[in-house]
Amino acid sequence: MNDFRYQAPTRYNFGRGAENKVGAEALAEGMTRVLVVYGHNSAKRSGVLDRVLASLDGAGIFHTEMGGIDPNPTDDRVYEGIDIVRANNLNGVIAVGGGSVIDTAKAIAGGAVYDGDFWDFWAGKAVMDKALPVGVVLTIPAAGSEGSGNSVITKKDGMHKISLRTDTALRPRFALLNPELTFTLPPYQTAAGIVDMMAHIFERYYSPTPDVEVTDRIAEGLLRAIIDMAPRVMANPADYEARANIMWAGTQAHNGVCGCGRVEDWASHGLEHELSALYGVTHGAGLAVVNPAWMTYATSKNPAKVAQMARRVFDVTEEDDTRAALEGIRRLRAFYRSIGMPVTLADLGVENPDIETLVRNVHVNKGTPFGGYIKLYPEDSRAIYTLMLDAR
Amino acid sequence: MNDFRYQAPTRYNFGRGAENKVGAEALAEGMTRVLVVYGHNSAKRSGVLDRVLASLDGAGIFHTEMGGIDPNPTDDRVYEGIDIVRANNLNGVIAVGGGSVIDTAKAIAGGAVYDGDFWDFWAGKAVMDKALPVGVVLTIPAAGSEGSGNSVITKKDGMHKISLRTDTALRPRFALLNPELTFTLPPYQTAAGIVDMMAHIFERYYSPTPDVEVTDRIAEGLLRAIIDMAPRVMANPADYEARANIMWAGTQAHNGVCGCGRVEDWASHGLEHELSALYGVTHGAGLAVVNPAWMTYATSKNPAKVAQMARRVFDVTEEDDTRAALEGIRRLRAFYRSIGMPVTLADLGVENPDIETLVRNVHVNKGTPFGGYIKLYPEDSRAIYTLMLDAR
């Protein structure tokens, strides 16, 4: 086990009607003038935005709103938000939405208290150690941003999508998790969210660090819980108990507890990023294609951890590591298919992938080699993209 | 899943030499004048106390010391500590030790900023919402107090042992976890600590709340990790990796994550408390006797969750719930025996237990009925104590 430093101070309120506590929670964090960030119509249509604003009004908190945050949120909205915060002397940011909205809110909160260009942090030119307090009302369980110190923002000029990871500066002060708010998510988005949270666990699980048994077992347990609950949410979108488990799993998947004491991998996110950039595929759906392909390739290099996953998550009983690993990957793909997710590039709608461009771009963005469990050089990345053509 | 509120803000520094960070960590929490609380000779003999004091000196932090904290720490030392804090205008408390030392430090920290008698909080006459900041250098992994908001103190007058649970007021601001500090723990203490952390998980795991799959899987994973690592620490006390996993598991076992979303049980702790009070047995050793007996009785009332534990933690394949549960309990007892722990009252050295007194006392202290998974009336408690006579 490697040395580590870990702190996850976010205060969670979980349950029905949690969004109505936003006023009291914000006041407890000293927020008296806030920017409320949200996405598109669903927050308004569902009534959750109205309830959030009513709760803030009830607590006497001044608020102004910024809506229309898109998936893969961009720096222009962050600059806009920083301007609003400064013009109105705001002292907190409330996100009502999923990862894109939360990440935008975080970037605004960090940028508003910095004299330079907020992008300095994402560009690695400055280290963020403070931000305005951020509160979250979660409506999409997937990205795990409600409990993480991370924020992924895309610079429109050049479309650089960069993930900033802070220890605690960008961890939300509080997150309000009401599973009922997720009842109306479309099936494809529900499933893509499930793949996304599983990928957050896999990226930490596949590690070259030995003897991280506690962290492994937590990761495996979360994967099992997600896999058990997924069919229920797909069959009955209003299954509160299953939605609740998926929601809480998504938070635990990305709050860092699955990474304690080890080197992480994150190669699959790099490989998927290029698919999203070149072909516009949904991040979670792309990961459903990338993760099993990466695991298949990793099995050829170092089957041990893939076999452990197969045995502990999918109850594979094969004694040979390689066979066990491949059987586990087969079951993982079958699971993804069962929730309507793609498992090949063709399933994703990418019929003639430009693998050479994908390989070139991923090494430009991630460097050479990249990855934690196995190191990927261009020939490795090329082999993994090729494995996405076929899912036998 | 029940609604819940959860916040575990403690900052962990985990790894070799972690205790040398105490000065910097204390300063980061605004501590400039601290009381260092510790136990008996081991903290001095091992050199850890010297290293802690040197780190505080290096950070320019004024300190005064209070040693000699006993197991089952008492209110008199808390009053003494509060007096020292006030007389010296201290603004923080550092615990160097295990649960007893940490719980004393917490009680001092809470009492020092309260105008009344600190015992008011333990007696339920006041609600603690603030305390001086507490930092921990952990030397005994068992109680989990380094990450919890709890403190167990015994009032000498009448020997009332009461556990106070706060949301966050008593959660340490930081905890420094160096597995090397546990290499010299005697085998019996190591094993009793392992039983204690497993019991903290069981008390939360045995719940009447259905559909808490994420929390269940985390709990089961921690139990498996502990059971996997325990033989290594017993065989080789200086196995860093195994010690590290046991240490981190002990923190996770009691920081509340295993209780999220459900009613907890805690009957076994109540039953064990009376054994410790009447016969002076070590808490962890007593739990090794109580937990399986309680599970055996619970199986007769509601075998489902015990069977789930048997299948998921001990890989029992029996289809019948009662048979599966009993086989799981058998394997749990075999595990406890394998690490040198008692499984009957006779093993504990209690040859002729006064069961009627135990039953009377537990219902005086816990009320009637008590327990979460099953409700215990005096006839149930009597049956469970009787089951401790024999471990077939």
Task: Give per-residue pLDDT as tens, B270-296.
Answer: 999 999 989 999 999 999 999 999 999
Q: State whether residue A8 is helix, strand or coil.
A: strand
What's the whole-number average pLDDT of chain B?
97
**Sign of the C-alpha dihedral computed for residues A298, A300, A304 and A308 taken in this order:** positive
| Alpha-carbon gap: B299 to the closest alpha carbon of chain A (Å) | 24
Q: Which of B217, B224, B252 sits opposite A222 (nearest CB)?
A: B217
| Alpha-carbon gap: B21 to the closest alpha carbon of chain A (Å) | 11
Q: Which of B14, B229, B260 sits opposite A3 (nearest CB)?
A: B14
| A327 alpha-carbon distance from chain centroid | 27
**Sign of the C-alpha dihedral computed for residues A161, A164, A169 and A170 taken in this order:** positive
Given a contact cutoff of 8 angstroms between Cβ atoms, the answer to whether B34 and B26 are in contact is yes
Average pLDDT over residues A310-323: 98
Q: Which of A9, A220, A261 sits opposite B7 (nearest CB)?
A: A9
Q: Which of B14, B213, B245 sits opposite A213 (nearest CB)?
A: B245
Q: Do A218 and B218 touch (CB under 8 A)?
A: yes
> Which chain A residues are within 8 Å of B242, Cβ to Cβ?
211
Rounded CA-CA distance A220/A153 in Å is 29
| A108 alpha-carbon distance from chain centroid | 19
If we measure between CA atoms, which residue out of B223, B142, B150 comes closest to residue B177? Answer: B142
Checking ipTM against 0.90, whether it exceeds it is: yes
If we measure between CA atoms, which residue out of B236, B225, B147, B137 comes closest to residue B181? Answer: B137
Q: Do B211 and A245 touch (CB under 8 A)?
A: yes
| Alpha-carbon gap: A241 to the closest alpha carbon of chain B (Å) | 6
Q: What is the pLDDT of residue B390?
A: 87
Q: What is the pLDDT of residue A45?
A: 87
> Which chain B residues are within 8 Å of A225, Cβ to Cβ?
213-214, 216-217
Q: What is the pLDDT of residue B42?
A: 83
> Which chain B residues are within 8 Å of A215, Cβ to Cβ?
248
In chain A, which ranges are continuous DSSP H helix? 22-28, 41-45, 48-58, 75-87, 99-112, 119-122, 187-205, 213-235, 240-254, 267-279, 283-301, 304-314, 321-338, 355-366, 378-387
Please give the backbone phi and psi of residue A376, each rounded to the nearest 5 degrees, phi first.
-105, 120
Bridge partners (DSSP) listed for residue B155:
B160
Q: What is the pLDDT along chain B (392 residues), one digit of tens a residue?
A: 999 999 999 999 999 999 999 999 999 999 999 999 999 978 888 899 999 999 999 999 999 999 999 999 999 999 999 999 999 999 999 999 999 999 999 999 999 999 999 999 999 999 999 999 999 999 999 999 999 999 999 999 877 889 999 999 999 999 999 999 999 999 999 999 999 999 999 999 999 999 999 999 999 999 999 999 999 999 999 999 999 999 999 999 999 999 999 999 999 999 999 999 899 999 999 999 999 999 999 999 999 999 999 999 999 999 999 999 999 999 999 999 999 999 999 999 999 999 999 999 999 999 999 999 999 999 999 999 999 998 76
Tell me how crowded residue A189 is: count the other CB atoms within 10 A of its CB: 17
Residues of A with CB under 8 A from a CB of B: 1-16, 18, 168, 210-218, 220-222, 224-225, 228-229, 241-242, 244-245, 248-249, 252, 257, 260-261
Residues of B with CB under 8 A from a CB of A: 1-16, 18, 168, 210-218, 220-222, 224-225, 228-229, 241-242, 244-245, 248-249, 252, 257, 260-261
Q: State whether residue B371 is helix, strand or coil.
A: coil
Q: Which of A4, A168, A229 sits opposite B213 (nearest CB)?
A: A229
